[in-house]
A and B are shown apart, each in its own frame.
Chain A
Amino acid sequence: MYFAVLQFPASNCDQDAVHALRLLGHKAELLWHKETSLGNADAVICPGGFSYGDYLRCGAIARFSPVMQAVQQFASNGGMVLGICNGFQVLCEAGLLPGALIRNRSLQFRCEHIFVKTLNRQSPFTCSIPEDKLLRIPVAHGEGCYFADSATLEKLQAGRQILWEYCDARGQVIDTASPNGSLMNIAGICNERGNVAGLMPHPERACELLLGSDDGRFIFESMILTLSQKSAARAA
């Protein structure tokens, strides 16, 4: 599988995403923000970092990059797009995902490992996650508090679009388990169609036990499994 990892000015986690995907045995390349074509990418990763220095609002400028037009087209054709941290913020700003990420409740940047519980294991981003498995993944953000109005939240719940919620080591979804004060402890969501997802935690930092956890693999493996099934279906 070939993953295109978008590279905006000051995307700092772009190389990490490439590293993690290559570690899992797949092709991954950086795609400069001025490019207007995704080539023959099977999926797109919108990585973490501080694109455009977080000027104006996180992701507010990146979403106007030429490459994002190609991403919009790709997504409307059903292509898989995953936004990580700043990437999640970019996708929200671009309207590909509902809601917004605002300042952490503590008003401070937070970098630590957290646990997430997977709420919907039928999505292309979660289908390989074992049942009842809590994922231990790092977060590192100052603006990770997920916010949406109550109508949107209801819609997300009804549509099973909330993919991950922050929880404690025992799986309890409680306030103290969240590093940022997100509504409903939301860590990650997907769009109505299910092909675009975003999460604040960094799965690309949790693909090797050497770095403390390899739970992040499950998310990428879910994407790969889904893509393989799709291409097998097409071949058939």
Chain B
Amino acid sequence: MNEPAITPELVAKHNLTPEEFARVQEILGRPPSYTELGIFSVMWSEHCSYKNTRPLLKTFPTRSPRILVGAGEENAGIMDIGDGLAIAFKMESHNHPSAVEPFQGAATGVGGIVRDIFTMGARPICSMDSLRFGDLSSPEVRRLFGGVVAGIAHYGNCFGIPTVGGEVYFDRSFEGNPLVNVFCLGVLRHSQIARGAAKGIGNPVFYVGPATGRDGLAGAAFASQDLTEESADQQRGAVQVGDPFMEKLVCEACLELLATGAVAGMQDMGAAGLTCSTCETAARAGTGIEIELEKVPQRAPNMTPYEIMLSESQERMLIIVHKGREEEVKRIFDKWDLPWAEIGVVTDTGRMVVLNHGQAVADIPARKIADESPVYQREAKEPAYLEAVRAFTLASVPDTTKPEEDLKTLLNWPTIASKNWVYRQYDHMVRDGSVVCPGSDAAVVRIKSDSLPPLPVQTADSAAVPVSEVLPESLEKFVAMTSDCNATYVYLDPYEGGKAAVVEAARNLACSGATPLGVTDNLNFGNPHNPELFWQLRESVRGLGDACRALNTPVTGGNCSLYNQSPAGPIDPTPTVGMVGLIDKAEHITTQWFKDAGDIIILLGEVVDGQDPLLGLGGSAYLQRIHGLKTGLPPRCDLDQARTLHEAVRSLIYGGRIKSAHDCSEGGLAVAVAECCLTHHVARETQSLIGAQLDLTSFEKKRVDALLFGETQSRVVVSTSAVHAAQVVAQAGILGVKATRIGVVGGDALVVKTAAGEWRWAVADLFDGWWNALARAMGG
């Protein structure tokens, strides 16, 4: 066999340091083969091994009574939701591929996360996406944005999963390095949890799904490097090509197969394809695996062992089958017209052995490569730019004299503007479960009996299906979910920004009537070898962890994406938080928009944090968009106050008197109230706009800009009918939350009266700019 000689240059090209290479030799007791070098290179890349982040990830809270499969154990975490049901959910990134090939990069991102869910035995029922791009004035940014959205739409729609929520941000720091974080949630019965472990010595190992090609070669390694100008040309081959139709068939076939009980272990071939799935399943079970490459279905001619092991061709699964049950695999995969191949066997050697026509091309101890990758404690140093950030005061910023213009400008700002241009390209209603679609604070999805994977099948020698497995047709559950991160806050204060991401997610869930259950995190940062960037990572993780502990939302799993930087510089640190909650009853489901004229508007929380010298304007959308300043310490987040507020919002909602709830975030109070007037969408070209008259005169001596656009944390705007308003205010007080009547719903204008003046906007006018901003920026 003509494999290249292992030279120091080749090792460096594989992103392994000399020390790491020495360790490889130590593990093997000899120099590696070329194929083995490739295998170690992907398994020990940051993307697969988390070697730079594992010490930090260990600081997250990861336990709660509801957790059935925890962070780090399997491909996705699983939480109990009662009545023998559970949810599997996770978020993952596909940033680098989307930067060079936005459509397929984003599409395969969806494919990857959906597989992580059904590999656990859950039926995927919904997804979300958290996207970040540069400034839309750049044609290149528009190309990436359009391509990513089209890619997600293509994959999700064809697979048949509703994309029900997410977020889109636009900031210069993401130019050239877009972020594409995709979340998926699935449902299963407790008894259906499948694990990625190669159990049972002698069990056959099956490969199912389309044939292996050269696409996506070493994608994991590509993801673990900075992007360069040459990346586009050089790395296009590393971008995988997705086929959602194939994935849908593979998903149905796998869920059907799992129901037969023939599966001993299952794992998807995602990052590092065949390599990762074989050594990880062996490592988990403490067994070994032997595979024969000539049995692997191939769709390109003359593929080398290196290529077969490192290919990231999509929609493939590795299934360990109980010996004697092989016929079931064949029957089911033939039914769905899917390729399958028996490619190996589980052994007792603890080694991953790869044979090619009888010759061993790789022979590696599974646990050593999967679990004992190097771990680094990177150097962290507080970034120099923070000094100026902390020193910033409002002395140099005069109060606004034109709030009428400011509100319009903010509502038209792509980061704040309506995202309908995006989500109308996603089928967000398939599966008859979308109760609250994109456009409110959190998405709400209904779980019903057909959300579940097929029932376990009764066979001649199995016991009757227990009664607990057969759920009443009428069983319904409501799951709420949101994705949040204000990366500007994290850039300006990584600890506070990390906290804020978790708190904002929990606040959004509370506004929908949900109690949060858990979090999946997607950490998007720059090069970890840069001490200042690593400091950002360390501090954000600390903030995330503290907030998750205070709000009782353990981390069930997630993803790290490092090396997000281009020659122009690193991205703003972005620890995206995906949070999931439960709503007990349909009548508690609450939406963002005002409902009826005459309803009273109440602000829960302090209108402006008196302790904040920047009055909530630090890092605000207002400061960025109106004054062109991205500086100042962001608003502090008091975790006790947040917890009290969220519990109060839920209590008030359960009391049945809250007609709408919306939290204040980017753009502050004025934007939040405007959104309540604008977001009720009935049908195509059919809005249900309603005005509001706000009286903020009781808030004396506040700067107008701080009052209207400051982003003080822990504030929620609710509305209730006039007869209940006094009760709601009183009730909030009892629950420990300040509540102030600030206005009344009705009319065709938004009117805001403060001690300094009164301003008026026709709602239809505000709507036009807000609704059409993205479409206009994208040319239709």
Q: Which residues of A contact B (CB under 8 A)?
A: 9-10, 12-13, 15-16, 18-20, 22, 48-50, 52-55, 106, 108-115, 136, 138, 140, 142, 168-169, 176-177, 179, 202, 204-205, 208, 210-212
B245 contacts A53, CB within 8 Å?
Answer: yes
A10 contacts B245, CB within 8 Å?
Answer: yes
Determine, out of B422-430, B528-536, B650-658, the stretch whose residues face the partner at the interface: B422-430
Query: For A176, what are the chain B residues with a Cβ–Cβ distance below 8 Å?
Result: 684-685
Query: For A16, what are the chain B residues with a Cβ–Cβ distance below 8 Å?
Result: 430-432
Question: Is B470 positioned at the interface, with any CB of A under 8 Å from its CB?
Answer: no
B586 contacts A210, CB within 8 Å?
Answer: yes
26 interchain pairs, CB-CB under 8 A:
A9-B249, A9-B337, A10-B248, A12-B248, A12-B430, A16-B432, A19-B432, A22-B473, A50-B157, A50-B244, A53-B243, A53-B245, A106-B780, A109-B153, A109-B426, A111-B424, A111-B429, A112-B683, A113-B684, A114-B683, A140-B427, A168-B685, A169-B685, A169-B686, A179-B684, A211-B434
Known: A50-B245, A52-B245, A109-B427. A140 touches B432 (CB 8 A): no
Question: Is B448 positioned at the interface, with any CB of A under 8 Å from its CB?
Answer: yes
Residues 457 to 484 of chain B near chain A (Cβ within 8 Å): 473
Known: A12-B248, A106-B780, A113-B683. A49 touches B432 (CB 8 A): no
Complex Cα–Cα for A10 and B161 (A): 11
Known pairs A53-B246, A140-B157 / 5 extra A-B pairs, C-beta < 8 Å: A9-B248, A106-B780, A111-B427, A113-B682, A177-B685
Query: For B150, what are the chain A residues with a Cβ–Cβ distance below 8 Å?
Result: 108
* CB closest residue in chain A, given B425: A109
* CB closest residue in chain A, given B149: A108
Question: Is B385 positioned at the interface, with any CB of A under 8 Å from its CB?
Answer: no
Query: For A169, what are the chain B residues with a Cβ–Cβ distance below 8 Å?
Result: 682-683, 685-686
Complex Cα–Cα for A119 and B384 (A): 70
Taking the nearest CB of chain B, how far is it from the CB of A96, in angstroms?
A: 24
The one of B424, B430, B780 that contacts A110, using a Cβ cutoff of 8 Å: B424
A111 contacts B683, CB within 8 Å?
Answer: no
A55 contacts B432, CB within 8 Å?
Answer: no
Taking the nearest CB of chain B, how far is it from the CB of A92, in angstroms?
A: 20
Complex Cα–Cα for A129 and B248 (A): 36
B683 contacts A115, CB within 8 Å?
Answer: yes
B432 contacts A211, CB within 8 Å?
Answer: yes
Taking the nearest CB of chain A, how far is it from the CB of B435, in angstroms?
A: 6
Question: Is B526 positioned at the interface, with any CB of A under 8 Å from its CB?
Answer: no
A168 contacts B245, CB within 8 Å?
Answer: no
Query: For B586, what are the chain A residues with a Cβ–Cβ distance below 8 Å?
Result: 210
Question: Is B343 positioned at the interface, with any CB of A under 8 Å from its CB?
Answer: no
The one of A18, A50, A111, A208 that contacts B428, using a Cβ cutoff of 8 Å: A111
Query: For A208, what are the chain B residues with a Cβ–Cβ distance below 8 Å?
Result: 432
Question: Is B109 positioned at the interface, with any CB of A under 8 Å from its CB?
Answer: no
Question: Is B160 positioned at the interface, with any CB of A under 8 Å from its CB?
Answer: yes
B686 contacts A115, CB within 8 Å?
Answer: yes
Complex Cα–Cα for A169 and B684 (A): 9
Query: For A168, what are the chain B residues with a Cβ–Cβ distance below 8 Å?
Result: 685-686
The one of A54, A179, A205 that contacts B158, using a Cβ cutoff of 8 Å: A54
Known: A210-B586, A211-B432. A111 touches B160 (CB 8 A): no
A9 contacts B157, CB within 8 Å?
Answer: no
Complex Cα–Cα for A48 and B245 (A): 14
A55 contacts B686, CB within 8 Å?
Answer: no
Complex Cα–Cα for A63 and B248 (A): 20
* CB closest residue in chain B, given A140: B427
* CB closest residue in chain A, given B150: A108
* CB closest residue in chain B, given A174: B685
Query: For A13, what are the chain B residues with a Cβ–Cβ distance below 8 Å?
Result: 160, 430
Taking the nearest CB of chain B, how far is it from the CB of A178, in angstroms?
A: 8
B435 contacts A210, CB within 8 Å?
Answer: yes
B430 contacts A140, CB within 8 Å?
Answer: yes
Taking the nearest CB of chain B, how far is it from the CB of A181, in angstroms?
A: 13
Residues 438 to 453 of chain B near chain A (Cβ within 8 Å): 446, 448, 450
* CB closest residue in chain B, given A112: B684
8 tightest A-B contacts by CB?
A53-B245, A12-B160, A113-B683, A140-B427, A50-B158, A16-B432, A169-B686, A10-B248
Question: Is B336 positioned at the interface, with any CB of A under 8 Å from its CB?
Answer: yes
* CB closest residue in chain B, given A213: B683
A136 contacts B683, CB within 8 Å?
Answer: yes
Taking the nearest CB of chain B, how far is it from the CB of A30, in angstroms?
A: 10
Taking the nearest CB of chain A, how far is it from the CB of B696, in angstroms?
A: 34
Complex Cα–Cα for A169 and B685 (A): 8
A111 contacts B245, CB within 8 Å?
Answer: no
Taking the nearest CB of chain A, how far is it from the CB of B640, in angstroms?
A: 36
Complex Cα–Cα for A115 and B684 (A): 8
The one of B246, B425, B682 that contacts A111, using a Cβ cutoff of 8 Å: B425
Residues 197 to 217 of chain B near chain A (Cβ within 8 Å): none
Query: For B450, what are the chain A residues with a Cβ–Cβ distance below 8 Å?
Result: 15, 18-19
Complex Cα–Cα for A108 and B450 (A): 29
Complex Cα–Cα for A46 and B276 (A): 41
Query: For A19, what are the chain B residues with a Cβ–Cβ distance below 8 Å?
Result: 432, 448, 450
Complex Cα–Cα for A179 and B432 (A): 20
Complex Cα–Cα for A139 and B427 (A): 9
